Amino acid sequence: MVKNKPVVGQIAVQAMPDSTYVLSGDIASAVARVIARFPDKFGHLVNAKLACLKRQSKTSEDAFTVDGSGGSFIRSDRERGLDPSFDAGVWFRTKWWDSMAVDKREAWIFHQLSHLHPRPSGGGLVRIGHDVEAFADEPEYFGAWEDQLLLFEKNLDQYTPGAALIRPARPSPATASPPAN
C-alpha cells in the first residue's frame, strides 16, 4: 500500500508505478468540450471538480490501450475532506495524448468519463467498470476509434443479433442537425 507522502508537482495515486502527473489545460479544455457535447450523459460532471492530468511514465509505452494509457479516478470522502481541490479526475499518458488527432482524444475522454457516475445514494461520484451498459454508445458516436472496439462489436452482435454498432460515427446529440420538415 502506498503511503501518503506530499510530493510537490505530483499527485500520488495508489497501486501505480512512479510517474509524474501534471495538471493540463489542454486536457481540461477537451474534457469541458466533451461534457458540453454530451449533456445527457455527462451532465452530472458539469459542476464536479475534475483533475485533468497528463502522465509522464518512466516505463515503456510501446503499446496503446484505452485504460492502460489513460484512466479515471474518484476521491473518497476522506480524501476530499483532507484536500477539497478535486472530486475526481482523468489522466492520459503524454506520449499518446500528444500523438492523437482531436477526434480520437475526444473518444478517449468520452470513454474515461463514462467510468464516472453519480453515486446512487446521492452526493458524489462512483467509478464503474466495463460490465455495464454505460459504454454501448461510445462506438455509436465515435466509430471503431480503437482496435478493442472491434472485439466489443463482435461480442455485442453475438448477444444482440443485428446490433453491430461500428459504422460511421453519428453526430452527438448537441451537434446533430434538426430534422427537416
Read off the pLDDT of each residue in 121-138 and give the average, rounded to a whole number. Answer: 81
Looking at the chain, which residues constitute the CATH 3.30.2010 domain(s)?
Answer: 19-127
Regarding pTM above 0.75, the answer is: no
Q: Which of 39-48, 86-95, 149-158 has the lowest mean pLDDT?
A: 149-158
One CATH from 3.30.2010, 3.30.1120, 2.60.40, 1.20.272 for 19-127:
3.30.2010
- For residue 175, what pLDDT band results from cuts at 50, 70 and 90? low
pLDDT at 6: 40
What is the pLDDT confidence band of residue 1, given thresholds at 50, 70 and 90? very low
Q: Please state, in angstroms and rounded to a whole number, the distance separating the CA atoms of residues 57 and 7.
A: 16
pLDDT at 63: 72
User: What is the pLDDT of the chain when averaged over all its residues?
Assistant: 75
- Give the mean pLDDT of 88-114: 90
- Is it the case that residue 35 has pLDDT exceeding 90? yes
**Per-residue cell: 148:** 478493442
Amino acid 36: pLDDT? 96
- The string of DSSP letters for 48-110 reads S-EEEEEEEESS---S--TTTSEEEEE--HHHHHH-TT-SEEEEEEHHHHHHS-HHHHHHHHH
- The average pLDDT across 138-151 equals 74
